[in-house]
């Protein structure tokens, strides 16, 4: 085997894998088949990709595009190894995403890849960060955004930014309240979308527009804020505070806290006595 595949996250109609390939020039390409729609972000390495839509050279920052039921080959004549974040979507799931992208007429990728484009760079960086931080909860939103970006770019659709309707604002407000109430438990994007009677892709777009961040980012902000208050107000163990705030893994909590707050939970708690306002 020249490739190892590790599933990072999955949901109803989608899954994400981390694919590491060690093939080189001496390894003969063999034919494989896409079971679903595939949008794979190349993180490192270069390789040749031949599919029904054509042949292309894939480099870091590019997106490999695959249609369900079609065969493909990958070759490494010019270098050894590559690593990709591979997003897979069932046709019914992709259909709902494409329906929310203006100008999309055909549910199929006509090109084998998207080159490294500046507009895609921030999204790819977010995806690699989520992989490296083992932040698997972020991939539901990243999957939707990755598929939407690929469909929009291939179709040449231009996003017209309209002011959110009062109905959409009400939907986001309801979702925000739901997240605040249930922040210590599992909160999925698809469940939030179902409760507002919208598709996950449309809901994600209007939430970002109205709230200025994604639902998952708002969920993390809420959890970290509550954990920070607990660290200031109590002497409970950091692990207990993390779990009660909704984090299932202490190391993930520590990394998130340090990234957002600029210091570890322990350091933040130690400074409590310095920053506390004396009681009158």
In a domain? residue 160: no
* pLDDT, mean of residues 233-257: 91
Report the C-alpha gap between 142 and 130 in whole angstroms: 9
**Model confidence over 118-136: pLDDT tens digits?**
888 999 999 999 998 888 8
Q: Predicted confidence band at 2 (pLDDT cuts at 50, 70, 90)? A: confident
What domain range includes position 106? 3-124+131-155
In a domain? residue 279: no
* pLDDT, mean of residues 248-261: 88
**Model confidence over 151-181: pLDDT tens digits?**
888 876 555 556 778 888 889 999 999 999 9
> Which pLDDT value is given to residue 105?
67
In a domain? residue 202: yes
Report the C-alpha gap between 91 and 76 in whole angstroms: 29
77 or 104: which leads in pLDDT: 77
170 shares a domain with 140? no
141 shares a domain with 26? yes
| Interacting residues of 220 by C-beta distance below 8 A, sequence separation 6+ | 256, 260
**Model confidence over 35-65: pLDDT tens digits?**
999 999 999 999 999 999 999 999 999 999 9
Q: Predicted confidence band at 272 (pLDDT cuts at 50, 70, 90)? A: low
Residue 64 and residue 84 in contact, taking contact as beta carbons nearer than 8 Å: yes
Q: Predicted confidence band at 256 (pLDDT cuts at 50, 70, 90)? A: confident
> How does strand 63-66 pair with strand 37-45?
antiparallel
In a domain? residue 46: yes
In a domain? residue 280: no
63 shares a domain with 20? yes
* pLDDT, mean of residues 177-198: 89
> Which pLDDT value is given to residue 164?
76
Quote the number of domains for the chain: 2
* pLDDT, mean of residues 3-15: 93
* pLDDT, mean of residues 229-241: 92
Between the CA of residue 51 and those of 57, 92, 211, what are the distances in Å?
12, 22, 40
> Which pLDDT value is given to residue 279?
40
Report the C-alpha gap between 25 and 185 in whole angstroms: 49
Q: Predicted confidence band at 198 (pLDDT cuts at 50, 70, 90)? A: confident
206 shares a domain with 240? yes
Residue 280 exposure: Cα atoms within 13 Å on the Cβ side: 0
């Amino acid at each position: 085997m020249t490739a190892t595949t590790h599933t990072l996250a999955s949901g109803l109609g989608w899954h994400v894998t981390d694919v590491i390939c060690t093939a080189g020039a001496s390894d003969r390409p063999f034919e494989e088949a896409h079971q679903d729609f595939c949008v794979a972000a190349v993180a490192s390495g270069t390789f040749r990709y031949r599919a029904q839509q054509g042949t292309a050279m894939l480099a870091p920052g590019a997106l490999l595009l695959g249609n369900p039921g079609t065969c493909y080959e990958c070759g490494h004549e010019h270098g050894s190894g590559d690593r990709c974040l591979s997003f897979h979507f069932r046709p019914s799931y992709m259909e709902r995403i494409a329906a929310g992208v203006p100008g999309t007429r055909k549910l199929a990728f006509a090109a084998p890849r998207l080159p490294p484009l500046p507009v895609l760079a921030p999204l790819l960086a977010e995806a690699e960060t989520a992989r490296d931080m083992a932040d698997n909860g972020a991939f539901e939103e990243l999957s939707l955004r990755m598929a939407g970006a690929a469909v929009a770019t291939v179709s040449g659709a231009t996003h017209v930014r309209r002011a959110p309707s009062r109905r959409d604002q009400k939907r986001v407000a309801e979702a925000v309240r739901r997240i605040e109430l249930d922040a210590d438990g599992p909160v999925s994007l698809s469940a939030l979308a179902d409760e507002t009677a919208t598709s996950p892709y449309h809901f994600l777009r209007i939430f970002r527009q109205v709230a200025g961040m994604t639902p998952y980012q708002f969920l993390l902000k809420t959890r970290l804020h509550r954990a920070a208050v607990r660290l200031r107000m109590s002497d409970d163990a950091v692990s207990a505070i993390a779990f009660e705030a909704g984090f299932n893994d202490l190391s993930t909590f520590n990394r998130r806290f340090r990234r957002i707050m600029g210091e570890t939970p322990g350091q933040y708690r130690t400074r409590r006595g310095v920053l506390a306002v004396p009681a009158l």
